[in-house]
């Protein structure tokens, strides 16, 4: 005896996969936004998303490619409702020669979409102290 299959979505996509695609798209958009901001701040046009430029960096969980090494940190971008899992992210990043800056675009559900409710940068305390020392 065969089981009858339930009604399938005619588009071939489940609600979960559509939500996943939106989340991924939101993350990619946030990476591109950061690239544009960092280009403007540094005056360097050789800053790109690692997806676009470096498969090796992308595999090491680094989201921003800095071809001229003008940034003194690596970037991991997150656009989520939940606070990023800092310890887990730091453990997953494959490069340790520069500190990791986790850029977090905090999201909140509103009606039928997610909206940004603030942007934060999470950095190691020692790196924060180094930034202060550069000012004095």
Residue 9 lies in a domain: no
pLDDT of residue 7: 46
Tens of pLDDT, residue by residue over 31-82, are: 999 999 999 999 999 999 998 888 889 899 999 999 999 999 999 999 999 9
Residue 92 lies in a domain: yes
20 vs 98: CA distance, rounded Å:
31
Which of residues 120 and 18 earns the better pLDDT score?
A: 120
Residue 4 lies in a domain: no
Who contacts 108 (Cβ-Cβ below 8 Å, separation ≥6)?
81, 114, 115, 116, 117
Spell out the alpha helix ranges (H) of the chain. Answer: 15-42, 50-53, 55-59, 86-92, 125-135
Residue 7 lies in a domain: no
Pair 122, 104: CB distance under 8 Å: yes
Nearest to 96 by CA among 63, 118, 74, 64: 74
pLDDT of residue 65: 95
Residue 84 lies in a domain: yes
Tokens of 38: 């960092």
Number of folded domains that form the chain: 1
Residue range of the domain that includes 121 = 15-135
Tens of pLDDT, residue by residue over 77-121, are: 999 999 999 999 999 999 999 999 999 999 999 888 889 999 999
- The model's confidence at residue 132, banded by pLDDT at 50, 70 and 90, is very high
């Amino acid at each position: 005896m065969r089981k009858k299959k339930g009604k399938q979505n005619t588009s071939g996509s489940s609600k979960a996969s559509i939500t996943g695609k939106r989340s991924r798209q939101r993350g990619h958009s946030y990476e591109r936004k950061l690239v544009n901001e960092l280009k403007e701040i540094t005056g360097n046009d050789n800053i790109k998303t690692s997806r676009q430029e470096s498969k090796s960096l992308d595999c090491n969980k680094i989201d921003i490619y800095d071809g001229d090494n003008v940034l003194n940190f690596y970037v991991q971008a997150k656009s989520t409702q939940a606070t990023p899992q800092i310890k887990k992210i730091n453990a997953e990043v494959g490069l340790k020669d520069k500190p990791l800056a986790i850029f977090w675009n905090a999201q909140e559900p509103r009606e039928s979409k997610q909206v940004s409710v603030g942007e934060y940068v999470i950095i190691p305390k020692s790196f924060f102290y180094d930034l202060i020392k550069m000012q004095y």
